[in-house]
Every structure is written in structure tokens, then in C-alpha cells.
Amino acid sequence: MLKSCFLPCAVLITCFVLATESRGAVSVVDRPDTLRRNDFYVSNREPLEPNPLLKLPIRAIEPRGWLRKQLELEAAGFTGHLTEISRFLRKEGNAWLEPKKGKHGWEEVPYWLKGYANLAFVLDDEALLRETKVWIEAAIRSRQADGWFGPESNRTRLKGNPDLWPNMIMLFCLQDYYDYTGDRRVIDLLTKYFKHLTTIPDEKFLPGYWDRIRAGDQLYSILWLYNRTGEVWLLDLAHKTHHNAARWDEDVINWHNVNIAQAFGEPATYWMLSKEPSHRQAACRNWQKVRDLYGQVPGGMFGADENARPGRNDPRQAIETCGIVEEMLSDETLVWITGDLRWADRCEDVVFNSLPAALTADLKALRYLTAPNMVLSDRQSKSPGLENGGPMLHMNPHGHRCCQHNWGHGWPYYAQHLWFATPDNALELWVSARRAEPRRIVPGVQTRLAVQRYAVHPRGHADRTPR
């Protein structure tokens, strides 16, 4: 029987401890060897850069203990009941259910479904799964003859050009649904949709602010499909997406906090195709530049309330709840793309120091902005100290529109990224606390520990200062 690994103390290092249970041999490497291809799980196809870690299927991980409690609280909290609260999720006349005539066809539904569906998947909750299926089935049914899917209004939303941003979010929902169910209709839908995107001329491709800035999400989905079908034309679409997207490979090109947290890693996603070292390094450079300028804010994030502003860089500045969960997902993704455990450490800094402060303990309310030095958290405006005026600090399940719908994927995706497979058919646990275990293991597969170790003080307080 495979066992979880625990290391109570040591110094911070970035390495993998590889142990074979039968012999007890231990070796240390910077990252897993990528010369082999995993026999059991989906990994990067050639010509993509081999990935040192592989995300396990959703059903392969079972959250336990305090992590499962967080997920259960989320299901019982406002996210699990948001269809009763949000006008954007009312079924009657909703464009995601009635794509040719409905309203509310922009980001709110897929934002919410991304978290809600993954909450249903990791908990195997029948009620949540039933509600999830209503929206997923509608998305699948919405596919048109030319490959377009989703609200018809998004086809011409941007001065007659397509707004691809809402569909980028729904692609994640569909991919995760496929991961959970194996429903081949998802593969068919994505294939036809991406074929449709190849017909859009460059001057009309990603013409909007949000879709251009966050096109890394579309790039991710294209490569996700390529790894499951091997359709070579998808690589041309991946190049097209990157070259028409905002150029995060050149610099931090936008200072909106969610854009940074969501898109700074786009060059590393493209690196899997380009194999250009500067693209992988660009993600690190972007992250570091933001922290150098605005990272005097404890908790793994940075000061940007709504945007990062020159001179506003101390702990009185805040971050959106959306920015927190998007940073988590970016870090989690960069772990398996690069095998660099610094991203795991950065993710946990955010998970344990910023995310809990953004919501009430019972997860029945959230605030739009959270600041480390928040001595007065009420409904009063704090502008111009904070860029946004209004009740930005108020804990309220009925407001804060984008974060209200988007925050929900934080805990479910975190639960899905605690264990990884490796190219040589082993499993890696990249955190040292018992919060999730693999459910279905192939006989003979080794368990390993991806180490991020800290000196542990009495009473369990960890010293996060490298020694």
C-alpha cells in the first residue's frame, strides 16, 4: 500500500526526493527525468516540450481532512447557492441556456461554473453534479454548424467581431467535465470550435481587451486538446493565438491585478511549443518584476486595487479575490509545465495567507479587496487610498460581481494539484501535509515527495525564511 510522506523539518530547498519503498533508496534531483513518457496518464505529445509533471485525472485524488472541510464549506456557502442569489445565473432567458435569444451571456456563468463544477467533481456531490450537468449540456447543445458555441451575441460583441473571452472560461469547464466523465462530445465540440477559430483572419482574431490580455487561457486549451487528439493543425492555431495575444513574453504589459495574476505565465505555456528558453524565463521575470515594484504586501500577492499604481506599494494596498485565485491557478499550472517547485511554494504562500482573509470563515460571504494592513474592514469607501471607491472591503455574498462568480475555483483546483504523475510512472506529492491522497493507483507505481521544507518551530509554527 502506498503511503504519504512527511518531513517535519529542514531547510527550504527546491528538489525532488525520490524513494523506492522496496529498497529504501533515496536520491535527489532538480526535477523528474523527462526522457520517458508516462504509460498511464496524458502527457505532452511531440513536438511539445516534455512535461516533468503530469496533472492527474480529477477522480484520481481524494481530498481529506481540513481541505475536504473547506470544499464542503464552499458547497454549503454562497458559491453552492449562487444560482439563488445572482441575477446572472437565473435560468429563464439565460444566454448560456438559450444561446440565440437569452441575456447574461458574458463571463459570469462560466466563471461560476468553473468553480462550481470542479467542486462537484472533487466532492462527487450528486446535487452539485446535477446542477453542473444542466449548464454543461446546454454548452454542448449550443454548438453550431460552423463550430461556434455559446451565446450568439458574443459572435459580434466587439464591433462586429467575436468576443472569445467568455468561451475561454467555458473551455476550462468543458475540459474538466471531460476529465471527470470521459464524454467524447467535449473533444468533438472543442475540435470543431478551434477549427472555426482558424477561419478568423488575424485582424479580427482576439480584437478585444480581455481576450487579448488573457489569451493564454485559450492557448492552454488548444494544447490540452492537441495532447488528446494529436491534430497537427492545432499547433498552428496555438502559434496564431500567441502572436495575436498581448505580449507578456516581452514585459509586464498591463497592471490590472487579475490580468497579471492570470496572464503573467502565458509565455511559459507557449514555451512548451516554442522551446525558446526566453519564453520560460519570461514567466519568472514577470512574476519578479511585479513583486519588486509592488510586492511589499505580505501573503504572496502584490498591491493592486484595481491596478498597481506607482507609489502605492505598501501593505495598506489590496488585491482582488479574483487575483488571489488566478495567481493560485497560474502557479499550479507552472508547477507541472516547468517542474520548478518555487511555483508550488508561491502558491502555498497565497493559499494560506491571502485566500482565507478574503472570505468569512464559513465561506458565506467575500470581499472584493483584501489588504494585509486592514485595520478597519467595513462598507465605507477607502478611496483614493484604494483605487476603487465604494464598499470594496465589505463581506457580502450579494455583491462584488466578478469575484463573487470567479473565486470558487480556488479550493477545488488546489485539491487537484497536490499530487502529480511523472514521466517514469511515479507519483509526486509536492506539499508535506496530509490533505489529499490518490484514489486509484496502478500496482507498482512509486510514491515520491517533491520537497518544500521549512524549519518547524515549537507549536507547529513554520519559519519560512530560507537558511
Q: Tell me, what's the pLDDT at 431?
A: 56
* Cα–Cα dist 196/193, whole Å: 5
Contact indicator for 389, 396 with CB cutoff of 8 Å? no
Kind of pairing, strands 15-19 and 369-370? Answer: unpaired
pLDDT per residue as tens digits for the range 428-453: 887 544 566 666 555 445 555 554 43
Helix (H) or strand (E) holding 329: helix 321-338
Q: Tell me, what's the pLDDT at 435?
A: 61
Radius of gyration of the chain (CA): 21
Q: Tell me, what's the pLDDT at 448?
A: 54
Nearest to 286 by CA among 343, 237, 325: 343
Q: Tell me, what's the pLDDT at 452?
A: 42
Q: Tell me, what's the pLDDT at 456?
A: 29
Nearest to 261 by CA among 343, 202, 175, 191: 343
Q: Tell me, what's the pLDDT at 16?
A: 53
Contacts of 217 (CB under 8 A, 6+ apart): 168, 169, 171, 172, 262
pLDDT per residue as tens digits for the range 157-210: 999 999 999 999 999 999 999 999 999 999 999 999 999 999 999 999 999 999
Helix (H) or strand (E) holding 456: strand 455-456
Low-confidence ranges of the chain (pLDDT < 70): 1-27, 431-467
Contact indicator for 174, 96 with CB cutoff of 8 Å? no
Nearest to 313 by CA among 366, 367, 248, 387: 387
Residue with cell 466523465: 181
* Cα–Cα dist 290/10, whole Å: 29
DSSP codes joined into one string, 231-255:
-THHHHHHHHHHHHS--TTTS----
Q: Tell me, what's the pLDDT at 466?
A: 28
Backbone angles phi and psi of 330, in degrees to 5: -60, -45
> 423: cis peptide before it, omega within 30°?
no
SS (H, E, C) 133-183: HHHHHHHHHCCCCCCCCCCHHHHCCECCECCCHHHHHHHHHHHHHHHHHCC
pTM: 0.90
Distance of CA 126 to the CA centre of its chain: 24
